[in-house]
Amino acid sequence: MIENQTLNNEVEIDLGELLKILKKNIFMIITVTFLCAIIGLLSSVFFVEKKYNSEATIYITPKVTEQGTIDYNSIQTNSKMVNNYMEILKGETILAKVAKQVGLESYEEVQDTLTITNPENTELISVSAETTDPELSQQIVSLTVSTFTEDMMDILNLNNVTTINEAKVNPDPVSPSKSKFTILGFGIGLVISCGYVCITYLFDKRLRTRDEAENFLGIPVLATVPLKK
C-alpha cells in the first residue's frame, strides 16, 4: 500500500503529451512571445535612457632622423610609453580640468564616462566618452585630448602627440540597442508562455485516459463510460 502511495505521489512527465499540450497552446505562446518582443522594442525607444558616444584617436609620433627616416629606437620608446600616457589621460590632473570646463562636479564623473584603449601593437590611443548628451560626449573627449597634449608640452616638454581623428558630435545613440531589447523580450515571452503551459500540465491532476487512471489508482479499470457528444 505504501509503495502504491509513493508511486502515486511521483510526478511523471509524458513528453509526447507535453508536446501535444504545447502544440495545442501554440497560438497563445506565439501571441505572448511577440507581445513581449514588442514591449522590449518600445521600452528601448521610449523608456530606456539613450547614450551617445564620441571618440578621438591620438598617435604617439616617432622621431624622424636628419636623413628623413623614422628613428626605430623612438618607436620602441613610444610603445613603452603608451601605457604611461593612458594612465595620465585617466588621471585626476587632466580630468579635473575637464570636469571644471564642462560643468561637472568632480573628475570621477568625467572618468566614469571615458574609455581609453590602445589597439594591440600600435602607438595609437583611442579616447571615447559615453553620456546622455551627444554634445557633452564630444566636449569631454576633445577637452581630454587637448588638455593632455598641452600638459605634455608644458610639463614634460613633449610634442610627439598628434590627434589623427577629432571627436565629433554623434547624434545617433549607441545604446540601448533596439535589436537586443527586442530579442530579449522575445526570449522572455517564449520562456514565460512555455513555462506557464508546462507548469499547468505538471500540476493538472485530472485523469484523462484509462492508463492514467490505472497508474494512479493501482487497480485495473473494469469499464469506461464514453463521453456523450
How far, in Å, are 17, 64, 194, 202, 219 from residue 205 at the CA level? 14, 85, 19, 8, 18
Do 68 and 76 touch, CB atoms closer than 8 A? Answer: no
Q: Give pLDDT, residue 158.
A: 73
Q: Length of the chain, please?
A: 229
pTM: 0.71
Residue 1 has pLDDT above 70, yes or no: no
Please return the burial class of 145, using the count of CB atoms within 10 Å of its CB with bins 0-12, 13-18 and 19+: buried
Which residue is listed with cell 530579449? 184
Helix, coil or strand: residue 17: helix
The CATH code that applies to domain 52-165 is: 3.30.70.1130
Residue 221 has pLDDT above 80, yes or no: no
Do 98 and 147 touch, CB atoms closer than 8 A? Answer: yes
Return the domain boundaries, the chain.
13-47+177-206, 52-165
**How confident is the model over 105-162, as pLDDT tens digits?**
999 999 999 999 998 888 899 999 999 999 999 999 999 999 999 888 777 777 778 8
Strand order in the sheet with 161-165: 114-117, 124-131, 52-60, 161-165
How far, in Å, are 22, 51, 138, 171 from residue 131 at the CA level? 45, 5, 9, 12
Read off the pLDDT of each residue in 185-196 and give the average, rounded to a whole number.
Answer: 95
